[in-house]
């Protein structure tokens, strides 16, 4: 079993600090069937030199591989530890997340003994496949507000400066305001092709309660407040991931090489502390033979392995808090105490209610006499419509509570026409697939932002 431990901190809104995050694969990487063939295949990689080595083939890595290889002049290597099958049906179906959490497509991180959660560990799902967590998340597409970027006060990151990049990538299919949306980009966004009666009722009740309405949470010409339908990253009822939108194009180019099952262990530096190569090995190779991907002169290593793995790679490479690295016998390249620290998460409180009417919630409709209902599956395969096009939480609201310290919303509400089985939403998804009969219910997930 592959086990990676590293030191990190989760800073929650309650100012509770948690150290140690544990990442464990489900059953460990499967053994490589023909190790000699696998080693020979990697020799084709190490015999080349690259302008860019991208460590991590998640959403950011997919975008970078596409952009950097587009003109054909640069040689790109993408190293991804996860699986290659981003087009698997269970990933393409948005409701497939019920089978993705704690699966072979998930790194299955957990925090350790949260004081603010009665000592419970908090499950942190991270995608273990090309496309990363864009293949395993709930598809919601939120840019944030223009004020979010302006408040950072970072050169190059104002709302006016980042908007063109959002629009360049976006393929909006909702008919949104053209001042803030582009319909021709590769990253497809749409409204979910299903709406549960309880979700419709939620929008009515929220509006009547004075929360206001919002037809497009990514329209920066208006405030973010209100209830509405969340835009989702879907194309014709299928999940749109970083791999389908960006990497699939790049992989057709001669100047792009993509390796999966390749676990990056560290970035190697020369005497001038300039990145020179990357060390990686093959998951499932019991020999743990290291391979070295080398940069051309002036080349760059781009670490894009996600929130958890990127600081881990940096620290294994000697970049991080010097005292901690020295404790582990890692030579210090750069003493940067912030690496591996200050990871911020959004606390969420789940409130669930049972409905008087039976058979109305999504959790009820997915079951038929205690078994998987075949009719929603048939509807998705034939028409790409129906409840399988929904991840469940695509209706909600942004609200400014009395506790807000700015003029912006400080609470996001996600509404699900489903029954909560556990205190947190992600574990509920996992438990649902093992539960035969569920009563009709609805739940609200309150998320501090």
Whether residue 153 has pLDDT greater than 90: yes
pLDDT digits (tens, 9 = 90+) for 161-210: 999 999 999 999 999 999 999 999 999 999 999 999 999 999 999 999 99
The C-alpha atoms of residue 61 and residue 57 are separated, in whole angstroms, by 5
Mean pLDDT confidence for 421-438: 69
From start to end of 177-327, where are the E strands? 187-189, 226-229, 234-235, 238-239, 256-260, 262-269, 275-282, 291-303, 319-320
pLDDT at residue 350 in the model: 85
Instruction: Indicate the range of 120-129, 184-193, 295-304, 427-436 predicted with least confidence.
Output: 427-436
* Alpha-carbon distances, residue 45 vs 37, 61, 274, 279, 439 (angstroms): 13, 18, 21, 12, 54
Whether residue 387 has pLDDT greater than 50: yes
Mean pLDDT confidence for 361-378: 84
The structure tokens listed for 366 are 């997915």
Q: Are strands 343-344 and 395-399 parallel, antiparallel or unpaired?
A: unpaired
Q: Are 291 and 316 in contact, with CB atoms under 8 Å apart?
A: no
pLDDT at residue 187 in the model: 98
How would residue 17 be classed by pLDDT, with cut points 50, 70 and 90? very low
Pick the closest to residue 211 from 352, 413, 418, 404 (CA basis).
413
Q: Are 362 and 390 in contact, with CB atoms under 8 Å apart?
A: yes
pLDDT at residue 28 in the model: 52
pLDDT at residue 223 in the model: 95
Q: Chain centroid to CA 162: how far?
A: 20
The phi-psi region of residue 19 (left if phi > 0; otherwise alpha if psi is between -120 and 50; otherwise beta) is beta
* Alpha-carbon distances, residue 390 vs 92, 101, 125, 284, 438 (angstroms): 12, 16, 19, 35, 18
Name the DSSP class of 175. -
Q: Are 231 and 189 in contact, with CB atoms under 8 Å apart?
A: yes
Name the DSSP class of 274. -
The C-alpha atoms of residue 376 and residue 167 are separated, in whole angstroms, by 33
319 versus 446: the higher-pLDDT residue is: 319
292 versus 429: the higher-pLDDT residue is: 292
240 versus 438: the higher-pLDDT residue is: 240
CB atoms within 10 A of CB 302: 18
How would residue 369 be classed by pLDDT, with cut points 50, 70 and 90? confident
Pick the closest to residue 399 from 408, 389, 390, 388 (CA basis).
408
The C-alpha atoms of residue 82 and residue 105 are separated, in whole angstroms, by 7
Mean pLDDT confidence for 401-422: 89
Whether residue 321 has pLDDT greater than 80: yes
pLDDT digits (tens, 9 = 90+) for 282-319: 998 888 899 999 999 999 999 999 999 999 999 999 99
Q: Are strands 49-55 and 319-320 parallel, antiparallel or unpaired?
A: unpaired
CA atoms within 13 A on the CB side of 357: 10
Pick the closest to residue 109 from 309, 384, 370, 304 (CA basis).
309
pLDDT at residue 197 in the model: 93
How would residue 348 be classed by pLDDT, with cut points 50, 70 and 90? confident
pLDDT at residue 116 in the model: 80
CB atoms within 10 A of CB 5: 11
Q: Are 224 and 145 in contact, with CB atoms under 8 Å apart?
A: yes
The C-alpha atoms of residue 46 and residue 32 are separated, in whole angstroms, by 19
The C-alpha atoms of residue 246 and residue 63 are separated, in whole angstroms, by 6
pLDDT digits (tens, 9 = 90+) for 97-107: 989 999 999 99
Pick the closest to residue 95 from 343, 320, 384, 302 (CA basis).
384
pLDDT at residue 10 in the model: 24
The C-alpha atoms of residue 44 and residue 171 are separated, in whole angstroms, by 36
- The pTM for the full model equals 0.88
In residues, how long is the chain?
449
pLDDT digits (tens, 9 = 90+) for 45-60: 888 999 999 999 999 9
């Amino acid at each position: 079993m592959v086990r990676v431990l590293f030191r990190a901190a989760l800073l929650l809104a309650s100012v509770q600090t948690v150290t140690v995050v544990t990442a464990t694969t489900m059953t460990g990487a499967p053994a490589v069937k023909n190790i000699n063939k696998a080693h020979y295949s990697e020799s084709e990689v190490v015999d080349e030199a690259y302008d860019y080595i991208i460590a991590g083939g998640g959403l950011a890595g997919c975008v970078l591989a596409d952009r950097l290889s587009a003109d054909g002049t640069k040689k790109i290597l993408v190293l991804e530890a996860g699986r290659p099958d981003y087009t698997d049906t269970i990933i393409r179906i948005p409701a497939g997340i019920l089978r993705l959490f704690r699966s072979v497509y998930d790194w299955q991180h957990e925090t350790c003994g949260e004081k603010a959660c009665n000592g419970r560990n908090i499950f942190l799902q991270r995608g273990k496949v090309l496309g990363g967590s864009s293949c395993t998340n709930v598809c919601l597409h939120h840019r944030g507000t223009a004020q979010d970027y302006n408040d950072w006060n970072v050169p190059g990151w104002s709302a006016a400066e980042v908007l063109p990049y959002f629009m360049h990538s976006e393929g909006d299919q909702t008919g949104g305001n053209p001042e803030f949306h582009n319909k021709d980009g590769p990253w497809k966004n749409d409204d979910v092709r299903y709406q549960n009666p309880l979700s419709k009722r939620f929008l009515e009740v929220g509006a009547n309660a004075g929360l206001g309405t919002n037809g497009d949470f990514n329209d920066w010409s208006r405030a973010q407040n209100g209830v509405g339908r969340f835009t989702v990253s879907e194309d014709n009822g299928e999940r749109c991931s970083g791999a389908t939108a960006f990497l699939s194009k790049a992989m057709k180019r001669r100047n792009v090489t993509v390796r999966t099952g390749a676990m990056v262990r560290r970035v190697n530096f020369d005497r001038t502390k300039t990145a020179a190569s990357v060390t990686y090995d093959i998951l499932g190779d019991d020999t743990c033979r290291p391979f070295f991907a080398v940069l051309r002169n002036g080349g760059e290593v781009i670490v894009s392995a996600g929130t958890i793995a990127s600081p881990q790679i940096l620290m294994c490479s000697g970049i991080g808090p010097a005292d901690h690295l020295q404790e582990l016998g890692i030579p210090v390249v750069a003493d940067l105490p912030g690496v591996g620290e200050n990871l911020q998460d959004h606390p969420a409180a789940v409130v669930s209610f049972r409905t008087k009417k039976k058979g109305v919630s999504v959790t009820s409709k997915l079951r038929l006499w205690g078994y998987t209902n075949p009719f929603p599956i048939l509807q998705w395969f034939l028409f790409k419509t129906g409840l399988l096009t929904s991840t469940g939480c695509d209706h909600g609201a942004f609200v400014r509570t009395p506790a807000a310290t700015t003029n912006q919303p400080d609470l996001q509400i996600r509404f699900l026409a489903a029954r909560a089985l556990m205190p947190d939403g992600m574990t509920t998804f996992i438990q649902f697939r093992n539960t035969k009969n569920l009563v009709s219910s609805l739940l609200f997930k309150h998320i501090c932002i």
